Chains A and B, each alone.
Chain A
Amino acid sequence: MKNKQVTSKEPFSWMPKEVIAFFKETGELTSFGTRFFREILFPPYEFKEVIRQCYQIGNKSLGLVGVTAFIIGLVLALQSRPTLVDFGAEAWLPKMVGVSIIREIGPVITALICAGKIGSSIGAELGSMRVTEQIDAMEVSGTNPFKYIVVSRIIATTLMIPVLVVIGDAIALYGAFLAVKMKGAVSFTLYFHQVFESLEYSDVMPSFIKSFFFGFAIGLVGCFKGYFSKKGTEGVGKSANSAVVVASLLIFIIDLIAVQVTGFLGLI
């Protein structure tokens, strides 16, 4: 009898548990995102908290983003060079490096690093706030915890990831410049002149826009996982971990969609 009740209540009970869990989670994440847009429309606005979060996020990840971007730029230039030399197209190196960094590698690598660094820290922080009842305490003290904690963090990641991407791009281009310079004589101005000459509006804009979405995804997933963290220390660890996994996955999905959209708009 008990079984019957369950099947009549849940029409999808024939599906594997994992599939149901996936759809459930997607639904919850969506409604979490919807709530963000609803809450962002109405005051009070927590400007001070947004600024504090922006500073934290930028400050925390700048070093890591810088080092990674530098190495990626350097390695990309070093490894592409032999192939271009084979085709006698060595002069194209700055162009090729520039376009690949700006269009794809810069935003995606920066976003992935931030997903690891910021996503996990947001997940763990909110998770422990949930576990130690800080979120409940805020709610009973008349502060909207969603607004104070979640909205401010999502705004901060959405604004800061593009900034980090721009900085990351610049450092990666500089890394590539050093690699080019190592192998042949090229001046700083000539190199950057070639890079920027090859770049078009349609290279820069889509990738800049998509980094806002990356930032949004990182903040949203981190907050979602932390906000609904399960009790106990294990719960906090799990939310930090799954925040990184889901955010990284979302970054690739957004990237895929972005490429389709830009293609559709004829911007490739």
Chain B
Amino acid sequence: MGTRVDNTSVLEAKLQHVIAEPIIEIKHLVKSFGENKVLKDFNLTLHSGENVVVLGKSGCGKSVLIKCIVGLLKYEGGSIEVYGNEVATLSQKQLDELRAKIGFVFQSSALYDSMTVCENLEFALRRHGKKFSKKGKRIGLARSLVLKPQIMLYDEPTTGLDPITAREISNLMLNMQLKYRTSSIIISHDMHCAQMTADKMAVMIDGICYAEGTFDELNKIQDPKVKAFFE
């Protein structure tokens, strides 16, 4: 239960994390759609080489959060700094340069279903032209990985997969971190996945970062709102 790849690499990763500089800094983020206030005052920092797992109920704004990071959605308040650059102020060209460093795995895996697997992968390397199989999620992941990004944003990468494949994906995410020193934000409801991959976890409730800490720290919290995720 909860065994990581091996203990030395965990320690290494932890050590790294102590001296690591912040890659993504989200401060007081506010985002709403009309009357619907989704993010109210969200704070989160992703350090270099770190995996942060974000937990939260359906519809609480997790996808919105990571779409704000890559500039797909415009936020009204607060700031998101990636490598020290405020995302909202970037020009289109700068934004494209930033996006080239970020891999994004979409919740719906977002495969171009007019293309084959290979073409989907090639598209990431800019090429064009039929069908994808039910292994969609894995292909979506592969598409983001071919570019060897420095930052990975995973939107529910294991949801809807069988436990075995889910574990494969979790291992893959872990390997990405260890091999390429990618820093990742992982959105997940899957506690096994979270336990395997997370250096740090953040619980999003009512548009704020309600609790933050390692898996074991959060597991000990008695607050019923947090406890609910660990049952």
A48 within 8 A of B: yes
Task: List B contacts of A7 (CB < 8 A).
Answer: none
Known: A52-B129, A143-B126. A136 touches B99 (CB 8 A): no
Query: What B residues does A132 contact at CB under 8 A?
Result: 108-111, 113
- Which residues 112-144 of B sit at the A interface, judged by CB distance below 8 A? 112-113, 123-124, 126, 128-129
Cβ-defined contact, A143 with B112, below 8 A: no
A residues near B70, Cβ cutoff 8 Å: 140
- A49 in the interface (beta carbon within 8 A): yes
Please tell me if the beta carbons of B111 and A134 are within 8 angstroms of each other in the complex.
Answer: yes
Q: Does B67 contact A (CB under 8 A)?
A: yes
Instruction: Name the residue of chain B whose CB is nearest to the CB of A49.
Output: B128
Assess the A140–B102 pair: CB atoms within 8 A: yes
Q: Is the CB of B124 within 8 A of A141?
A: yes
In the complex, A141 Cα to B102 Cα: how many Å? 9
A interface, over-half SS? helix
Tell me whether B128 and A136 are in contact (CB under 8 A): no
- Interchain nearest-CB distance for A146 vs B (Å): 12
Contacting pair A133 B107 (CB below 8 A): yes
Enumerate chain B residues within 8 angstroms of A257, measured Cβ to Cβ.
Answer: none
Bound state CA distance, A140 and B104, in angstroms?
A: 7
With an 8 A cutoff between CB atoms, is B161 at the interface?
Answer: no
| B176 to A: closest C-beta gap in Å | 17
Enumerate chain B residues within 8 angstroms of A52, measured Cβ to Cβ. Answer: 128-129
- Residues of A within 8 Å of B, CB-based: how many? 15
- Give, as a whole number of angstroms, the nearest-CB distance from A128 to chain B: 8
Query: Once bound together, how far apart are the Cα atoms of A109 and B128, in whole Å?
Result: 34
Q: How far is the CB of B75 from chain A (nearest CB, A)?
A: 16
Interface centre among A48, A131, A134, A140 (most CB of B within 10 A): A140
Q: Does B100 have its Cβ within 8 Å of any Cβ on chain A?
A: yes
Q: Is A89 an interface residue (CB 8 A)?
A: no
Known: A140-B99, A140-B102, A143-B123. A48 touches B128 (CB 8 A): yes
**Which among B96, B108, B109 is the interface contact of A142 at CB below 8 angstroms?**
B96
Closest CB of chain A to B119's CB: distance in Å? Answer: 12
Chain A residue numbers with a CB within 8 Å of B100 are: 142
B129: A residues at CB distance < 8 A? 48, 52
Tell which of A48, A49, A134 touches B110, judged by Cβ atoms closer than 8 Å. Answer: A134
**A contact residues around B113 at 8 Å (CB):** 132, 134
In whole angstroms, how far apart are the Cα atoms of A160 and B123 in the complex?
A: 27
Rounded to whole Å, the gap between the CB of A209 and the closest CB of chain B is: 32
Which residue of B is nearest A46, CB measured?
Answer: B128
Known: A132-B110, A133-B106, A133-B108. A141 touches B72 (CB 8 A): no
A137 within 8 A of B: yes
Chain A 26-64 interface mask (CB, 8 Å, partner B; 1/0): 000000000000000000000011001000000000000
Candidate in B67, B100, B104 with the most chain A CB atoms within 10 angstroms: B104
Tell me which residues across on chain B come within 8 A of A138, comparing CB atoms. 112
> Which of A48, A134, A140, A143 contacts B72 (CB under 8 A)?
A140
Contact with A along B79-116 (1 / 0, CB 8 A): 00000000000000000100110101011111111000
A140 contact set on B, CB distance < 8 A: 70, 72, 99, 102, 104
Q: How many angstroms from the CA of A136 to the CA of B109 in the assembled complex? A: 11
Contact call A141/B128, Cβ cutoff below 8 A: no
Some 5 contacts from A to B, beta carbons below 8 A apart, are: A131-B108, A132-B108, A134-B110, A138-B112, A139-B72
With A137-B104, A137-B110 already in contact, 15 other A-B pairs whose C-beta atoms are closer than 8 Å: A48-B129, A49-B128, A132-B110, A132-B113, A133-B108, A133-B110, A134-B110, A136-B72, A138-B112, A140-B70, A140-B72, A140-B99, A140-B104, A142-B96, A143-B123
Closest CB pairs A-B (n = 8): A137-B110, A133-B110, A133-B106, A132-B108, A140-B104, A134-B110, A140-B99, A142-B96
